[in-house]
Amino acid sequence: MPEKRVSADRPVTQEREQYHLEVKEGDVASTVIVPGDPGRVEKISSQWDEASEVARHRQFVTHTGKYKNAPISACSTGIGGPGAAIVVEELANVGARNFLRVGSTATLKPDIEIGDLIISTGAVRLEGTSRQYVRQEYPASPSYEFILALIEAAESLGVTYHLGLSASTDSFYLGQSRPGFQGYTQSFSEQLITDLTKANVANFEMEAATIFTLGNIYGFRTGAVCAVYANRVRNEFEVKGEKDVIRCGNEAVKILHEMDEEKGDKEKKYWMRGL
């Protein structure tokens, strides 16, 4: 018989098992990689030194283990802001404090190649989930430490990467300037790529703005790195770079762990090279 939930406001069990993710305290590390694709979780954890599946429910698959001495978890969000917000909320309820999106993206830059990586330095909030939390003018920005960790990871792995602003949308089709069924479109959709390119936006994706916004509201560290599957300016598409983006994400978690150890040794709140 299913265990009774505490209340409608707090739909967790007495043991604090979360409603959607079905994880509880002790199941996840403080740092969690959050891909959209449930199938990517196993690909991520296959590179760890230790890994076990702790939960699987709906679109949410959660693994926990260790990577090069760093405690680590991975949990899929599914596509878009609503699932990403659920993951951040429920993982935070059981102890997670650092969230790294590892996914795929479409670039708006003609000089970025398929298979390259893009590390997000901020996100345009074209999605709707973050608007349920705070006014639209509030910035969606990642943690500087995750940006530094991702740069160091990419450099150490020798992968090609770029830094830039992402645009997070709720729609893969009209929301990213693609026609809908039978060619349906709107003028705002047709103009979107031109407008974002003029504003120096690097890529489309669907979860970063929600993750960054919630991270800043709650005081968590967040980041995002995506493999480029599409170049919208050159109208090219190929599934390429997934292995590199996974390697970069795992390595960044290890580097973040080392940053935290160094800060602890020096009794410092913030990190810089040579601390």
Q: Catalytic residue at 20? A: yes
Catalytic residue of the set 63, 125, 162, 232: 232
**One-letter-per-residue 3-state SS of 20-42:** CCCCCCCCCCCEEECCCCHHHHH
Q: Catalytic residue at 90? A: yes
Q: Catalytic residue at 178? A: yes
Name the region of 80 (left: φ>0; alpha: ψ -120 to 50; beta: rest).
left
Predicted confidence at residue 2, as pLDDT, reads 59
| Residue 242: partners with Cβ closer than 8 Å, 6 or more residues away | 40, 43, 104, 227
Distance CA 220, CA 222 (A): 6
Distance CA 244, CA 256 (A): 18
Q: Which CATH number fits domain 31-266: 3.40.50.10800, 2.120.10.30, 3.40.50.720, 3.40.50.1580?
A: 3.40.50.1580
Please, are residues 85 and 91 in contact by the beta-carbon 8 Å criterion? no
Catalytic residue of the set 178, 234, 236, 262: 178
Predicted confidence at residue 9, as pLDDT, reads 72
Rounded to two decimals, the pTM is 0.96
Q: Domain coordinates of the chain in residue numbers?
A: 31-266
pLDDT in tens, 148-198: 999 999 999 999 999 999 999 999 999 999 999 999 999 999 999 999 999
Helices 38-45 and 242-266 cross at an angle (nearest 10°) of 60
Please, are residues 120 and 252 in contact by the beta-carbon 8 Å criterion? no
Catalytic residue of the set 16, 20, 56, 131: 20
Distance CA 209, CA 120 (A): 10
Give bridge partners of residue 118 from the DSSP assignment.
Answer: 162, 226
Detail the DSSP E strand segments found in the chain: 31-33, 50-57, 60-67, 70-75, 98-107, 117-126, 161-169, 201-205, 221-231, 236-237
| Residue spans of the chain under pLDDT 50 | 1
Per DSSP, 51 falls in state: E
Q: How many helices (H) and strands (E) does the chain have?
A: 6, 10
